[in-house]
Amino acid sequence: MKKLSLSGKKNGKPAALAALPIAGFVTIYIVPLGMSLWYSFLNNSFDRNWAGVNNYLYIWGNRYFRMGFRNVVTLGGGMIALCMLLSVLLAWLLCEHEKIAKAGICILVLPILIPSVSAIPIWRDVFETGAFSGDALSRAAIISLFLWKYSGVASLILYAALKKIPREVIDAAELDGANAAVKYLRVRLPMVAPSMGLTVIFLLMYFFRIYKECYLLFGAYPPDAVYLLQHYMNNQYMKMNFQIVSAAAVSLTVLSLLTYGAVFCLMRRRRREV
């Protein structure tokens, strides 16, 4: 009996320790998400009458919500694609120049350590950003800021994966007559496809947080070209339309989950092929 009680105590401690982060996750994420979902079906947050899907019909019929949704999709796709191309190039340079790789790693990781508030004044002066900036100029400002801040870390993820490729594979490609470009594009990159998927997820995570930089550059009412869903949500929050904010937040959550799920499925399929 004593042995059983001692084993029960030993098994109970890990369970108790595991319950703490689970409880924290439920409290911080699941409960607020559930409350937002509930509020999105109410008439307003004061009388709390059931409104069904009226709030969702309202936001999807709203011009500014659709514009923000369109910009999230188009800007996100373009920024992540450009960041991946730049990261692939930087990772190749690190692999080809091992002598300066350590210095390069320090330089590439530096932007993500610099607070956005410190970097924004430079971009504001260079691009002269404001609520009345042109579409091309505003896009150039936010895209260049995203590339500067996150492409370095993304390239380091790829570089770490490329370094794990056995040297025998590279030597075999050289014996077959492959040049440097063919070795990198046709041999090395396909072998690190899972890490490329991880890099895309990393960039997606930070893109959905780009509103902070966009707000600092352009304010609450930016040019139409960089008007995001988060701008619409913030403006509705200031008007105390909490049910509209909740419906928009649920829509944005569904969009992000579908995007992450699509990338994850592609990663799994690629891993099976490899």
* Residue bearing tokens 């099976």: 272
- Residue the block writes with tokens 């891993």: 271
Please tell me which of 3-7, 96-100, 198-202 the model is most confident about, judged by mean pLDDT: 198-202
Of 159, 157, 121, 160, nearest in space to 141 by CA: 121
Q: How confident is the model at residue 2 (pLDDT cuts 50, 70, 90)?
A: very low
Report pLDDT for 269: 73
Task: Give the C-alpha separation, 270 to 192, whole Å.
Answer: 10
pLDDT tens figures, 21-71? 788 777 887 888 888 888 889 887 777 788 888 999 999 999 999 999 999
162 assigned to some structural domain = yes
Inside any domain, residue 6: no
Specify if 68 maps to a domain: yes
Q: Give the CATH number of the domain where residue 201 resides.
A: 1.10.3720.10
Residue 259 lies in a domain: yes
Beta bridge partners, 42, equal 50
Confirm whether 240 is domain-assigned. yes
Confidence class of residue 156 from pLDDT cuts 50, 70 and 90? Answer: very high
Q: How confident is the model at residue 11 (pLDDT cuts 50, 70, 90)?
A: low
Determine the distance from the C-alpha atom of residue 171 to the mean position of all C-alpha atoms in its chain, rounded to a whole number.
36
Query: 274: pLDDT confidence band, cut at 50, 70 and 90?
Result: low
Return d(Cα 142, Cα 209) in angstroms, integer: 12
Q: Output b/e per residue, 11-45; b: 16+ Cβ within 10 A.
A: eeeeeeeeeeeeeeeeeeeeeeeeebeebbbbeee
Does residue 27 sit within a domain?
no
Residue 67: both structure tokens together: 């514009």
- Model pLDDT for residues 185-236, shown as the tens digit of each residue: 888 888 888 888 889 989 998 998 899 999 999 988 899 999 999 999 999 9
Amino acid identity for residue 109 in this structure:
V
Query: In Å, what is the CA distance from 167 to each residue of 80, 139, 162, 163, 171?
Result: 30, 42, 10, 9, 6
Q: How many CB atoms lie within 10 A of CB 181?
A: 9
> Three-state SS for 1?
coil
Whole-angstrom distance, CA of residue 62 vs CA of residue 24: 36
One-letter amino acid for residue 260 of the chain: Y
**Residue 178 φ/ψ region, left for φ over 0, alpha for ψ in the -120 to 50 degree band, beta for the rest:** beta
Is the confidence at residue 132, as pLDDT, over 80? no
Q: Domain range holding 229?
A: 64-273
- Overall number of domains in the chain: 1
Question: What is residue 272's predicted lDDT score, i.e. its pLDDT?
Answer: 64
With respect to residue 40, please indicate whether it lies within any of the assigned structural domains: no
- Cα distance between residue 2 and residue 6, in whole Å: 6
Residue 103 lies in a domain: yes
Report yes or no on whether pTM surpasses 0.85. Answer: no
**pLDDT for res 13:** 65
Tokens found for residue 226: 């960089």
pLDDT at 194: 83
